[in-house]
Each structure stands twice: as C-alpha cells, then as structure tokens.
Amino acid sequence: MRLYPVLALVAALAFAGSARAQQIDSAKTGLIRKIIKTTNMGEQMIMAIESSVPDQRAANPRIPAVFWDRFLERANSRKEELLTQMVPIYAAIFTTRELERLLLFWQSDIGQRFIELQPRLTQDVTAAAREWGGRLGAEIARELEAEGVVIQP
C-alpha cells in the first residue's frame, strides 16, 4: 500500500497546522482580527472576487451564469471562513509588536485614507496591468507571426 505513507503525511500536516493555529495567543489573535476589521479586508476580498468574475465568465462560457451568481452569493455569505483562515497566516508572518504597529498605521489618518482609496487604486492598477499585458501580448503575437508561427484564435 503505497498510498498509506502519503495519507499519514497529509494527516500529520493537517494536525500540525491545526495545532499551530490553536497555539496563537488570544492577544495576537485579537490584534489580527482588529487589523482585518480596520482594513475592511473581507469587503476588499469580495470586491476583488466580484471584479474578477466577469473575466472568468468570459473565459469559461460553458459554465452557466447561475454558477457564478451562486459563487458570488456564497463567497459573500461565507467570507468569515476565509478571514478566520488568515489569522494563523498573519500570526506566522508577523510578531505581536509588528501587528501592533500595523494596527496603529491602519488606524492613522494616512492608513484610513489608503483604505478609503484602495478600491479605486486596485481598479486603476488592474486596468493599467490589463492594458500593459494586452500590449505585450500583441507585440509578441506580431513577432511570432513575423517568424512564421501561426497563432490560432
């Protein structure tokens, strides 16, 4: 049974991950939760998902519209699950002192201004990146065409 060692490893990693999450002290968890709330992280993530769905719909026309509608509805209603998963990620990356400093920044005038402008900034940066990627793609397509490479639409 070659599968047994793989399953044992997966189980051990899952247990280690949940044990690690349980070892986060309540003060650190509280700081992370305050950062998540102060930065409107849940709303920001839902907005990012919502803005990507039209491209996903266009790229996957065989998937019915009801799937995307239900996906958005479920993502919005269950965003707390994702936010909860972020606690151990932040805890592993940042020290308590760093979290305290991050919270101070996000609560400051400039931090609040950044949070306020982040949706617009994300939209503008995404549009610029999409335009830039389109130019690169067109440039490469012209080069390949000149080299005799046929690109199928």
Residues 100 and 47 in one domain: yes
d(CA 51, CA 56) in angstroms, rounded, equals 10
Q: How many CA atoms lie within 13 A of 75 on its CB side?
A: 18
Cα 70 from Cα 52, distance rounded (Å): 15
User: For position 21, what pLDDT does the model report?
Assistant: 47
- Amino acid letter, residue 24: I
- b/e code 110-122 from CB counts within 10 Å (16+ = b): ebeeebeeeeeee
In a domain, 78, yes or no: yes
Looking at residues 27-47, what average pLDDT do you find? 94
Distance CA 46, CA 27 (A): 27
Judged against a pLDDT cut of 70, whether residue 26 lies above it is answered with yes
Range of the domain at 81: 25-106
Q: Give a yes or no: residue 147 inside a domain.
A: yes
Least confident of 10-14, 35-39, 66-70, 139-143: 10-14
Q: How far apart are the first and last CA of the chain?
A: 46
121 in a structural domain: yes
Tens of pLDDT, residue by residue over 40-63, are 999 988 988 888 899 899 989 999
pLDDT single digits (tens) 95-146: 999 999 999 999 999 999 999 999 899 889 988 998 999 999 999 999 999 9
What percent of the chain clears pLDDT 90, i.e. is strictly above it?
A: 67
Q: Are residues 152 and 127 in the same domain?
A: yes
15, pLDDT greater than 60:
no
User: CB atoms < 10 A from the CB of 55, how many?
Assistant: 10
Per the model's pLDDT, the better-predicted residue between 9 and 140 turns out to be: 140
**pLDDT surpasses 90 at 73:** yes
97 and 60 assigned to the same domain: yes
What is the count of structural domains for the chain? 2
Whole-number mean pLDDT of the chain?
A: 86
The pTM assigned to this predicted structure is: 0.71
Side-chain-facing half-sphere of 29: CA atoms under 13 Å: 11
